[in-house]
Amino acid sequence: MNVGFIGLGIMGKPMGKNLLKAGYELSIYDINPEAVENVASSGGKVKACDSIAEAVAKASIVITMLPNSPQVEEVILGEGGVVHHAKPNTLVVDMSSIAPGVAKKVEAVLRNKGLRMIDAPVSGGEPKAIDGTLAIMVGGIQKDFDEAKPLFDVMGGSAILVGGIGSGNICKLTNQVIVALNIAALAEGLFLAEKAGADTAKVFEAIKGGLAGSVVMNAKAPMMLEGNFAPGFKIDLHIKDINNALDTAQSCLMPLPLTASVMQMMQTIKADGYGSNDHSALARFYEIISKIKLYD
């Protein structure tokens, strides 16, 4: 099977490498030639391509891993895009995190051209992309999900078909809302402990095994306590996802007051120049308003 893989950023790069390690034949493309060379030099059955057309020409499945909705529309539907060069009946697996409405729009165009699509955004950030343990949330039909499932099993620790096209991204937005609120609550609680005079590191150790404990806490509390905000998932990208969540909520008349508040916090951090930090840098918002830090 030949797999066309388009988008070799922070997430796409390790995802592609894991497919190569598993023995898949990849035709890869990215607007950044250095990213293409990085994956191509990792070994395996890989062809570095100079265009989208070249990457998808022989592919049975095309995977796209792109920043946001506009890039997905451009790469798949734009001039020189996937829709113009993929073989009939090719399955397009968009693993980007985009607006659900855009996923539905793109799928409709592809279907009218004799192609198929599922939306399959992921959660877990760069560490889980590297480990091949991403959580993959899929929207589409069972037959197409089953066809892509062996690839999902290489890239992820779980892959769940949650509904029709667009449902994968609805699920991802739900995930991103919950993660953002968890990070904000974690930062707020830790800063309360610090400001009130407790040993914040010991507070974390004491509560992580209780009801407040979570995967988010275990991953992000150490980063906050160390002041280590090297990105696994950037504030800028989480803002993008929360924007999509708020737009989707508006379209279905669902108020998201807590999400809107966290969005303002993220925008404050971005305005201070921390958009490229990990989303655990929400702690910086509390540094600003409390005038203290959790680390030396």
DSSP 23-89: T-EEEEE-S-HHHHHHHHTT-SSEEE-SSHHHHHTT-SEEEE--SSHHHHHHHHHSTT-HHHHSPTT
Query: Quick one: pLDDT at residue 262?
Result: 98
Query: Quick one: pLDDT at residue 74?
Result: 98
Tell me how many degrees the CA angle 240-245-246 measures, rounded to the nearest 5: 100
CATH of 171-290, picked from 1.10.1040.10, 3.40.50.300, 3.40.50.720, 1.10.10.60, is 1.10.1040.10
What pTM was computed for the model? 0.91
- Other Cβ atoms less than 10 A from the Cβ of 190: the count is 24
Query: Quick one: pLDDT at residue 255?
Result: 98
Query: Quick one: pLDDT at residue 102?
Result: 97
CATH of 2-164, picked from 3.40.50.720, 2.40.340.10, 3.10.50.40, 3.30.70.1400, is 3.40.50.720
pLDDT in tens, 206-226: 999 999 999 999 999 999 999
Query: Quick one: pLDDT at residue 232?
Result: 82
At 278 the three-state DSSP class reads strand
Assess whether 87 carries a catalytic annotation: no
At 95 the three-state DSSP class reads coil
Query: Quick one: pLDDT at residue 124?
Result: 87
Tell me the torsion sign for CA atoms 223, 186, 267, 179: positive
Structural domain spans, the chain: 2-164, 171-290
Which residue ranges of the chain lie beneath pLDDT 50?
A: none
pLDDT in tens, 261-278: 999 999 999 999 999 999
| Alpha carbon 278 to its chain's center | 13
Q: Annotated catalytic residue: which of 172, 220, 234, 270?
A: 172
Query: Quick one: pLDDT at residue 277?
Result: 97
The helix or strand, by DSSP H or E, that contains position 106, with its residue range, turns out to be: helix 100-112
